Amino acid sequence: MSTQHRAPPAVDRLVNFAEPDVGPEEEVAVLRVLRSGWITTGEENTSFESELAGYLQCPYVATLSSCTAALEAALAYLRLPAGSTVAVPTWTFAATGLAAAHLGLRPALVDVDPATLNISPDSLRQLVGSGDRPAAAVPVHFAGVPVDDAVYELCHAEGIPVVGDAAHALGARDRLGPIAGRRAVADCFSFYATKNLTCAEGGAIATFDRDLFEFVTAYRLHGLDRDAWRRHRVESTVDYDLRFPGIKGNLPDLLAAVGRAQLRRFDAMQRHRAAVVDAYLSALAGVAGASALPSMRAAGSAYHLFAVVLEPGVDRTRVRKRLAELRVGSSVHFTPLHRYEWFAEHAVVSPSGLAVADGLAERVLSLPLHTRMTEADVAHVCAALRTALAEQGC
């Protein structure tokens, strides 16, 4: 620990934690749909699905209103018996576990790997060998870093279907190619405002399973076998059926148009995110009191978050407050699920326990990462972090 103090950075520079990268292309797309006479789910959405499938090199993509809806739809397709356990990492957003709970399934919380904060293969293995053997698993690609091969190998060997929570992982790749249902029955994406590709709200399922795709396209519209676009066309008939109880989870054309515009710029935006990460890794080399989570250097990452681990004894709340005073946004990803009241009362816990997640729960901090950032912004963030840590004796 160093006791050397540096002058704090100038506070006139604001670096938000996240900013949507939208501009003229998105504005033109929205106006086109507004003037088309059809703004809910229709041809624009179909085009978005087709273009996403092409980008992901995946035969079937279905959009939904959120990643949560996508996770629920994929789990519903498995038709698991009520009360079955579903393995999820405790280090994730609440939606990962709640998607299972909405279907009458019981989340089973699994510890994480300290280098990636992805689901721990060893902790999952202990759950599989317990009396609470999971009927399915929902691993999370935290920060856009692909899940460990060992997780898939274990689940495939044990006959446990995998639904991937790829909310952070559009653009991520593993040894088989883009994360898009190659190793899972489906991978589920988010297009929320803070994501690498945004339509403000939205999600999608990517799969190689045609039956799952057809199930999801009905499930997202209450279980109806024809959507409103097909029901309301001049040449349409009134013949349609309700196949099963579903949800209202479709993506409107107005939002799909934003997604299409984003997708056309997505590779360039991803290169920008990678450059910001490289700048962080260089600038943080001399910062005492915090270090980049090891997986921030991982090959194949989608570069969704940039997370640092604070040294033991550093008060994260004070760090965040000081960063805010220096006009730097930050966030926490995540509060482990077992620390929420509902999960503590209703979830199963792997026999391994959750020691890794507990040990890091107050030490992981997410720094700004978005495509409107410059090298000067990265320098400002790191200078502010250095000041905040130095004031705690680092």
- List the catalytic residues: 195
Which contiguous run of DSSP H or E holds residue 322? helix 316-325
Short-list 53, 37, 55, 128, CA closest to 87: 128
CB-CB contact of 302 with 271 (8 Å): no
Q: H-type helices in 21-130, by residue range?
A: 24-34, 43-56, 67-78, 94-101, 121-128
- Enumerate the H helices of 245-295 as residue ranges: 253-264, 266-283
List, as one string, the DSSP characters of 186-250: EEEEE--TTSSS-SSS-EEEEES-HHHHHHHHHHTBTTBSS-HHHHHSTT--S---B-S---B-P
Residue where the block lists tokens 């397709």: 77
The count of C-alpha atoms lying within 13 angstroms of the C-alpha of 262, restricted to the half-sphere facing its C-beta, is: 25
SS3 category, 112: strand
Tokens of 214: 């057809």
Q: Other CB atoms closer than 10 Å to residue 300's CB: what's the count?
A: 17
The answer to whether the Cα torsion of 370, 372, 374, 377 is positive or negative is negative
Between the two ends of the chain, the Cα-to-Cα distance in Å is 5
Angle 200-202-203 from CA coordinates, rounded to 5° = 140
Give the list of residues 6+ apart from residue 375 with CB closer than 8 angstroms, or none.
279
